[in-house]
Structure formats: C-alpha cells, structure tokens
Amino acid sequence: MVDAPAVGRVVARLSDLIVGELTPGARLPSEAELAVAHNVSRLTIREAVRVLAGRGLIEVARGRRAVVREPDGAVFGEFLATVMRHDTKGIFDLIEVRQALEIQSATLAARRANRAGLAAIESALDGMRAAAAALLGGGERATYEGRFHDCDVRFHEALALCSGNRMLTFLLEAMAEPLLQSFRLSVRGREQRGQTLDDTVAAHARILDCVRQGDPRAAAHAMRAHLKDAQRDIRAAINTQR
C-alpha cells in the first residue's frame, strides 16, 4: 500500500528540484537512487513520479529515467477549454481572469515595451485588419474569421510578452485555446449588438496606441473597456442561444 503522506513529501521535494535546479531535458535520478535519497520505498517513488508526470513537469518513458519537460500550459488550457464547453459560467469566469491578467499586462507593457515588442503587437493588429477587410470583401467567413481570431490571440500574447513578466506570458499562451473559444462566441454577440470586426480592431488599436505612448493608466483603461465589451458580446450571444 502506498504511503500517501510520503508521496506528498517526495512530490514537493522533487517539484522544488525540477523547478529550482534542473533544466528542461535533464534526467531525474533512477527510482533506486531516489528511494535511497528520500528514505522511502521504490513504490512511493513510482507514485510520486506518476503525480509529477500528471502535472506536466516530467515525461516518463518505459525503461528510462524521467525527463524534465519544457514549461507547458497545455494542461491548464485544456482544463479551461473543458470547463467552458460544459458550463456557461466558465466563459464569464474566463473574462474575470482576463481582467485580472490582461489589465496588468497592458499596464506593464506601457512601461516596458521595446521596439521589437511593439512591432509584434502591430503585426498581429495588421493581421486582424487584413482578415476583417477580406471578410467585408466577401471572403469565406470560416477562413477569414478564423484568421482574425488567430491574430487576436497573437495580439494578446505579444502584449503579455511586452510586459516583461514571464508568468503573464506563460498564462496567456496557456489560455490560447480558451481565448479562441470565447472569441468565436463573442463575434456572434457583437453582431447581435450591431457592431463589426472593425470595432474590435479599433479597440485593439486604442490599446496599442496607449502602450506605444508609454501611458500605463490609459493602457489599463483601454484594456478594461475592451474586456467589458467582450463580456457584453458573450452575454448577448448566450441570450440569443436560449
């Protein structure tokens, strides 16, 4: 029988080792070495390794020692996407999370953005404009709407990168698929409210302008206004579906 408290202690110690000392691609010691080092059974080590693999910290292959993984937000992103598919409240929970993260992202970007970072944000915005124009010109909706949303995600990721905060960057990248789900829904609500993709482009352009001007307060205000509009769009879409 596995000693659950012992497993928890080993998981905590190995997590510290993985995050604090080891680099991606490094191999953990063997089960036998870990058992001796932590004064537990190999069965306890095996269960701890299984837990760490489930958390996405390591990769385990049969007959080989565990390997430290590159940081990956896939597990977090999959959780958010699943919740949103099965629970309407999860969609609004995501908006609240975005308000906490992205207002800070915009604020820090206005303080720290460099030329390369601004160029990345501008490139994403240009992609949104091109996709919106193609749709207005009669382009296939599924194709160009998809491109618009992809560029929208790139915009928010580039903004987070400009913030200089690695945690924000990681979280925004992990949220890419949930963001796409919410964008697809919000475009329906936007139409219900009589707005277009050009309105969304304009909101993003205001955020970029504030970041380029180095005005943190204005950037935060512009992002807050954009997210409030997104919340209204999603609510309108959901009310229409009922």
- Residue by residue, pLDDT tens for the chain (242 residues) are 667 888 999 999 998 888 788 888 899 999 999 999 999 999 999 999 999 888 778 889 887 889 998 766 666 776 777 777 777 788 888 889 999 999 999 999 999 999 999 999 999 999 999 999 999 899 999 999 999 999 999 999 999 999 999 889 988 888 888 888 889 888 888 888 888 999 999 999 999 999 999 999 999 999 999 999 999 999 988 887 66
Strand runs labelled E in the chain = 58-59, 67-68
Helix (H, G, I), strand (E, B) or coil at 58: strand
Q: What is the CATH number of the domain that holds 138?
A: 1.20.120.530
Q: What is the pLDDT of residue 209?
A: 98
Residues 30 and 145 in one domain: no
Same domain, 117 and 236: yes
Domain membership of residue 94 as a residue range = 74-241
Nearest of 158, 162, 157, 152 to residue 203 by alpha carbon:
152
**Burial grade of 204 (CB within 10 A; 0-12, 13-18, 19 or more):** buried
Q: How far from the centroid of its chain's Cα atoms is residue 146's Cα?
A: 18
State the pLDDT at residue 242: 61
DSSP 59-84: E--TTS--EEPPP--HHHHHHHHHHH
CATH of the domain at 31: 1.10.10.10
Total domain count for the chain? 2
User: What pLDDT, on a 0 to 100 scale, did the predictor assign at position 2?
Assistant: 67
On whether both 56 and 85 belong to a single domain, the answer is no
Domain boundary among 68, 96, 117: 68
Q: Tell me what pLDDT residue 56 has.
A: 79
CA nearest neighbour of 204 among 144, 107, 125, 142: 125
Q: Distance (Å, rounded) from C-alpha 242 to C-alpha 237?
A: 9
Q: Are residues 79 and 148 located together in one domain of the fold?
A: yes
Give the list of residues 6+ apart from residue 204 with CB closer than 8 angstroms, or none: 125, 128, 152, 155, 226
Q: For residues 117 and 39, state if they share a domain.
A: no
